[in-house]
Amino acid sequence: GSWAALGLARWLDRLAFQIAAMLLVVLVIVSISSWLQPETVTDEMLETRVLDVVDRLLARTRFSLFPYLPSFWVSSGLTLWVEGAVMGTFFFGLVLLSHTLFFGYLAATKSGGLFFASLSAVNSRGGGGGWKFCKRGAGASQALGQLAFQPKLLDLLAKWFWWCSAESRALIVKDIRTFWRDTTQWGQSLILLGLLVAYIMNLRYFSHRLTSDFWIDLTSYLNLGACALNLATLTTRFVFPQISLEGKRVWIVGMAPLGMRRVLLTKFLFSTAVSMTVTMILVGTSCAMLSVSIDRTIYFTVTVGVMSFTLNALAVGLGAVYPNFREENPSKIVSGFGGTLCLVLSFLYILGMVTLMAMTSRWAFGGSSTMAFWAGWVLFIGVSFLLGWLPLRAGIRRMATLEV
């Protein structure tokens, strides 16, 4: 992997390499699509030939038994050790050790020159316009040099939000660029998004098996809880570390025309808008998959919208109250006391509010009276407001007296 990364960085600006890389990506996608093509299995085969069906399913994993893979050496060594064959375990251990020493020696003695050559090539190369496809025509180098000082696409998109001040737009653009440059951040976002897509796509198969009103109501509120827990995961993982990720340079942000109070509020409003959009789409799509009526879909969507304000305010406020400017890893920032407290409070809030909404609902579990319904909504709005407003106010006060 490290050698492939160095080679990619070193020769990415060459036209032949770019064409070969694009063709390789297309070939990999086509190969995986054909490899994972589902096979038709009849009901008769499921009833009478179960072992044959299982063998056909496991046939796609047969590559893991290839004897030249390190995973095969480890699994074989552990299997032999359990069976008492100590010499076989010792043999596979020596095989793994010898390959580790060999490739470690190559990496320690031969990768230095390629690493510094790749580093020099990357530092002397332009941005996306450095691809050969963009360097055609006379005066391309001069045009690319002037392009570096022109507004980027993100700056142009930010101008569409005319109701925001220029300072707020600049802060939002800075946060987006910081997020995008950190591969661990958007990499985890893609994994989480993939899990959500898989969850939504499988709901349509689950909903057909529900015939009782009780289970339909229970499933709809469990779905609300699952969407809210996903929202809590997003806010704790990505919103809570926002202040801490400013690091020791937070005093520069504090001297900006916005001031620390507006910086905190801008981060809160932007994160709320993004997470609310994602979660509302998730709730609406999942309710459609579960064949929930339109009035209950609106009810669940508004509920999760209120939760978005509360959970984002909680994450931003606690992130400002318990900052960690010494750490640059977002995962380590979240694992501290402030992140743990934010996660626990978010889960307790979701558990209590989903239970409250289910108990006072006019549709589910036999229904409740109109007075109980509105009393539940008033209590829900009150608790949500207090749980969001108190930490956010404490965070604003903390940032006003912060000394770095």
Place 401 in a pLDDT band, splitting at 50, 70 and 90: confident
Place 205 in a pLDDT band, splitting at 50, 70 and 90: low
Structure tokens at 221: 């509120």
Least confident among 56-60, 83-87, 129-133, 219-223: 129-133
Using alpha carbons, select from 400, 352, 392, 393 the residue that is nearest to residue 240: 392
- Give the separation between CA 377 and CA 361, rounded to whole angstroms: 9
Phi, psi of 46 (to 5 degrees): -65, -30
Supply the DSSP symbol for 126.
-
User: Given a cut of 70, is residue 198 above it in pLDDT?
Assistant: yes
- Give the separation between CA 13 and CA 229, rounded to whole angstroms: 43
Asked whether the beta carbons of 227 and 282 are under 8 A apart, the reply is yes
Using alpha carbons, select from 8, 5, 16 the residue that is nearest to residue 133: 16
At 26-59, the pLDDT tens digits run: 898 888 777 666 666 666 665 666 667 677 767 7
User: Which pLDDT value is given to residue 366?
Assistant: 61
For residue 211, what are the CA distances in angstroms to 50, 87, 122, 218, 257?
A: 29, 59, 60, 12, 59
What torsion, rounded to 10 degrees, do the Cα atoms 42, 46, 49, 55 define?
90
- Judge residue 315's burial from the number of C-beta atoms within 10 Å of its C-beta, 0-12 exposed, 13-18 middle, 19 or more buried: buried
